[in-house]
Amino acid sequence: MTYDTRSSRIAASLNEENLYTDIPSCSVILSREINYSSSLNRLKVQREIEDRRLYNLRLLRNQKYKFRAKAAVEVIAIDKQDNSFLLCGGINGCVDIMNLYTMERSVGFKPFNEELPRPLSFDQKHMIKCAQWCAKDNRFFVTSSSNKNLSLNDVEYLSIVSTNKCEFSPKSLHWKDDESRCQFIAVADGRPEVKLYDLKTFPNTIALHLCQKSKTKMTAVQWHPSGILIAGDAKGYVHLCDKRKARRPLHSFSANCAQIEQIRCTSDGLFFVTIDLSYRVIVWNSLSFKKLAQHEHVRRSDWSSQPKDLSLYEDGNVVWIAYPLGDEVKILVFNRKSALLESHEPLRGHLSRVNTCQFRNGHQQILSGGADQNLLWWAPNSDFEALTRRDEIVERVQAQEDNWSDED
């Protein structure tokens, strides 16, 4: 896969403090590149790398995949270990697992009607509402379904390892994906408490009680990289909880919004993003809990359903935010330094409501699924150029082959 040439911008200014760089891996050759002289005290050098690939996403013609279960795509998940395996959960309970690398190598620019690599598939008989891969081992993933089941699944045997029956259908779940020994699965099922599931004792639970006085329903959960659990409720409040102190949250504050539907954190833990029932996106500072930026969607006609997904992609000082909105994928761009949240051109290609979308980390691609039973693959222009060159080479090789027999 080829990447566009990255444009670098180096700005230098005087500083009496020691020399430092914002990017640890940035190496600065002072004497040659910026004419460093001993008379100057020190230089403060900042290097900003801007990658423009995500600004020109388009639909890969060959990757309009028809969901094999012939049902609406309700949820998709990409493993974080290899960024290669795609999990699709359907409204009819069917689960498809596909290898993205195999699809890239084997398809090229073939027409839609040609056969794609056959995915692994098995049926859970009820609508898949949430899904997530295990961060350490991509042989396992967890799903929640409309029949109130929370299931741990094995990819190798295409079977359910263990199932726990919840009191209500889980609305949100997040599997703690750090390198710690405790692998807790946090689940919000609409009750005024968040339940933690430990794989060592699964399906036994540890109840994390929140807001005992108000009895507010919990609607969204997300693990912070520091190990703190962030939860959102139906009244627009954000709660920060510690699993060691389960009775009350460490801190709670009002987001001044409607019911919180999704929460996502950046990999460094400095920011987290919330989206509420009215599609209001807010970027928060994780240290001061201050609202840094906000985006509101004006057209109420696009509010066909509640926000079902939210995905982040970090690219230097820029954080890309994607979420389904009507029949398109809405994209926002947040700048870490200026704290500006700008709207980008949405991705349009689905024939009906978009239910889910996910960034493919390391590849600057987006995959989306919707009620039209299609799974669309969005990629930068450079990926098109790579596929075009590859197909041209294949065509030249095939043209030079001697396929004539002696009888002809």
Residues 206, 175: one domain? yes
Residues 46, 113: one domain? no
Look at residue 382 and give its three-state secondary structure. helix
Residue 41 lies in a domain: yes
Whether the Cβ atoms of residue 272 and residue 230 lie closer than 8 Å to each other? yes
User: What local confidence, expressed as pLDDT, does residue 213 receive?
Assistant: 53
Smallest Cα–Cα separation from 64: which of 111, 25, 131?
A: 111
The alpha carbon dihedral of 148, 153, 159, 163 has a sign of negative
- Number of domains making up the chain: 2
Greater confidence (10 vs 367) lies with 367
Q: Tell me: the pLDDT tens digits for 5-23?
A: 333 333 333 233 333 333 3
Residues 186, 324: one domain? yes
For residues 136-146, average pLDDT:
89
The token pair at 397 is: 């090789």
User: What local confidence, expressed as pLDDT, does residue 389 receive?
Assistant: 59
Residue 246 lies in a domain: yes
Greater confidence (29 vs 335) lies with 335
Smallest Cα–Cα separation from 75: which of 150, 148, 130, 124?
A: 130
User: What local confidence, expressed as pLDDT, does residue 106 receive?
Assistant: 54
User: What local confidence, expressed as pLDDT, does residue 180 receive?
Assistant: 58
**Chain CA centroid to CA 378, Å:** 14
Residue 304 pLDDT level (bands cut at 50, 70, 90): low
151 bridge partner residues: 143, 163
User: What local confidence, expressed as pLDDT, does residue 406 receive?
Assistant: 56
User: What local confidence, expressed as pLDDT, does residue 119 receive?
Assistant: 63
Which structural domain range is residue 269 located in? 54-389
How is residue 223 annotated by DSSP?
A: E
Residues 42, 59: one domain? no
Residue 401 lies in a domain: no
Whether the Cβ atoms of residue 110 and residue 120 lie closer than 8 Å to each other? no
Q: Tell me: the pLDDT tens digits for 169-222?
A: 888 999 986 655 567 889 998 888 888 888 777 776 776 666 555 578 899 999
User: What local confidence, expressed as pLDDT, does residue 214 receive?
Assistant: 59
Residue with tokens 């996403």: 57
What pTM was estimated for this model as a whole? 0.78
Whether the Cβ atoms of residue 259 and residue 237 lie closer than 8 Å to each other? no
Q: Tell me: the pLDDT tens digits for 377-403?
A: 898 877 666 665 555 555 555 556 655
User: What local confidence, expressed as pLDDT, does residue 211 receive?
Assistant: 55
